[in-house]
Amino acid sequence: MDVSVIVPAYNEEESIAELERWIERVCNNNNLRYELIFIDDGSSDSTWNEIERSASAKVSVKGIRFRRNYGKAAALRTAFSVATGDVVITMDADLQDSPDEIPELVRMVNEDSYDLVSGWKKRRHDPFIKKITSRLYNFTARKTSGIRLHDFNCGLKAYRNDVVKSIELYGEMHRYIPMLVHEAGFRNIGEKVVTHRARKYGVTKYGLDRFIKGYLDLLTVSFITRFGKSPMHLFGSLGTIMFLIGFAMAIVVGARKIYHLVHDMRSPLVTDTPFFFLGLTAMIIGSLLFLTGFLGELITRNASDRNHYLVSDTLGIEGLTGGDTDR
């Protein structure tokens, strides 16, 4: 199979048939063997009926239906697990992503050897607020990850098949797939300016809450990619610093008390100075942070994927299977 096209859909009944015909036309005109996988993410309209109609007419069309709305990340992860194409393309179902981009995306993965090609909606047909929040997200994501992409959350992306088999999506992490791909060891990440079309049917499924969720997800991804395997490096370091600051304050308070006693000077109670309470609080917080890191290490030590490493090639070695390889 040359390409797997994955399309998550939530209440997009008007666009399913048109999108399916468009993808078929593009792939046939470019001699691409393809499979089209629709994921109905718990739609309350006739989206699933439209998918069934297309799948019954064409063997290349497949469908997955969730019992309720789980979100885009769950839809993508499920489809990634069954995709068989050498190149995997993801796009939204609202017709704002153009299937005409598929041949060039496939070429960039196959010929230019990109692990991931992310679309860049340089000219967007979105409301003003959505444009502003998108720019803030992308600016922060670039500074945090060091990955030079203009549009992390563009739904139109192309991957090598082994890339999608090597990343784990959950929650709302689909917004930061390039960061997860980079952390998995796939560093050849490219970008392509793509056409962004105005919405033809329905309304957007995202509200202003995505602004808050996006930044919370960015913090989560940043923490997981940097300290997911070694939480003690973060919490232990912070805990040690806090404890030393508190201990230094305690020494100052104690030294001041001793100095007054040695010189027969009237000495105030140690509890009369705020440094005593600040130092005590800092030492308690430091101890709790250190303990948090220690507990995190115990948890990750028993995680099923702690010793899961992605091996791309071997020479003269047989039997390397299971959690130690991605093949």
Q: State whether 202 and 134 are in the same domain.
A: yes
Q: State whether 193 and 242 are in the same domain.
A: no
pLDDT of residue 189: 95
> Quick check: 273 pLDDT over 90?
no
Q: State whether 270 and 138 are in the same domain.
A: no
Q: State whether 46 and 136 are in the same domain.
A: yes
How many helical (H) and strand (E) elements, i.e. helices and strands, does the chain have? 10, 7
* Structure-block tokens of residue 2: 């040359």
Of residues 226 and 191, more confidence is placed in 191
Contacts for 136-144: CB closer than 8 Å, 24+ residues apart: 137/175, 137/214, 137/215, 137/218, 140/215, 140/218, 141/176, 141/179, 141/218, 144/218, 144/222
Assigned domain for 327 exists: no
Confidence (pTM): 0.72
pLDDT of residue 89: 97
Q: State whether 143 and 76 are in the same domain.
A: yes
Whole-angstrom distance, CA of residue 98 vs CA of residue 121: 11
Could you report the per-residue pLDDT of 240-257, keeping only the tens digit for each? 999 999 999 989 888 888
Q: State whether 145 and 290 are in the same domain.
A: no
pLDDT of residue 226: 72
Residue 286, domain extent: 231-301
| Residue where one domain finishes, among candidates 179, 207, 227 | 227
Q: State whether 105 and 200 are in the same domain.
A: yes
Q: What percent of the chain has pLDDT over 70?
A: 85
Q: State whether 216 and 282 are in the same domain.
A: no
Q: State whether 95 and 127 are in the same domain.
A: yes
Phi and psi of 51, rounded to 5°?
-65, -45
CA neighbor of 126 nearest in space, from 156, 154, 157, 91: 154
Of residues 285 and 213, more confidence is placed in 285
Q: State whether 44 and 140 are in the same domain.
A: yes
| Residue where one domain finishes, among candidates 179, 206, 227 | 227
Q: State whether 119 and 255 are in the same domain.
A: no
Assigned domain for 186 exists: yes
Q: pLDDT grade, residue 210 (50/70/90)? A: low
Assigned domain for 314 exists: no
Q: Which residues are CB-neighbours of 60 under 8 A, at least 6 positions away?
A: 24, 34, 35, 36
Would you call 192 exposed, middle or buried from its count of C-beta atoms within 10 A (0-12, 13-18, 19+)?
A: middle
> Quick check: 307 pLDDT over 70?
no
Q: What percent of the chain has pLDDT over 90?
A: 46
Q: How far is CA 283 from CA 78, 242, 289, in A?
A: 46, 6, 10
